[in-house]
Structure formats: C-alpha cells, structure tokens
Amino acid sequence: MKTNHILAEIPGFGAIFDCGHCGNLHLTVGPVSITLSADAYMQLMALLNTSAANYESWLQSNSKDASAIWPDHDSSEGVA
Ligand SMILES: [Zn+2]
C-alpha cells in the first residue's frame, strides 16, 4: 500500500511530497498547490537554486549589508 511520502516540510509554510498515487510530486506553499512531474520538479529545483544564487549576488552588488539576510554567510568564502 502506497502512502504519502514527505520529501521536505516547513510547518506553517509548505511542503513537497509524493502522494503515492498519481506519480507526480506536489509542492504546497500556504494555500497554493502545484503538481509537478519528476522532470518538472527537477527543473523547478534548478530554477530555484539559480535564482537563489543570483539573488544573493544581486543583493551583494546592491548592498554591503547582505549579512543581514544571509547571517551565516562568510564573505571570505569567495564566489566560485
Ligand atoms: Zn500525487
């Protein structure tokens, strides 16, 4: 018997899970629910990862105070 399998969850925010029935992955954020095929899910993750990296770079180029948003960011790490 297949069951709901949660891949990740932030209580009160959202989750990504496999319902065990339709073969797709489900992303929920608040009242919004998106159903993704495995391929679409991987593309979304690439999209989010790229946007997060670009967002951090963009913040740093616009402010010297990026550490307020990325508290554990160590500027000595450099950028690849
Ligand atoms: Zn499903």
Measured in Å, residue 29 CA sits from the centre of ligand 1 at: 16
* Contact predicate 24/36, CB 8 Å: yes
- pLDDT in single tens digits along all 80 residues of the chain: 678 999 999 999 999 999 999 999 999 999 999 999 999 999 999 999 999 999 999 999 988 665 666 666 665 555 55
Measured in Å, residue 33 CA sits from the centre of ligand 1 at: 11
What's the pLDDT at 51? 97
Q: Where are the domains of the chain?
A: 5-63
What's the pLDDT at 63? 82
Measured in Å, residue 4 CA sits from the centre of ligand 1 at: 9
Strands 25-29 and 32-36: antiparallel
Question: Which helix or strand (DSSP H or E) is residue 28 part of?
Answer: strand 25-29
Measured in Å, residue 22 CA sits from the centre of ligand 1 at: 4
Measured in Å, residue 16 CA sits from the centre of ligand 1 at: 11
What's the pLDDT at 34? 97
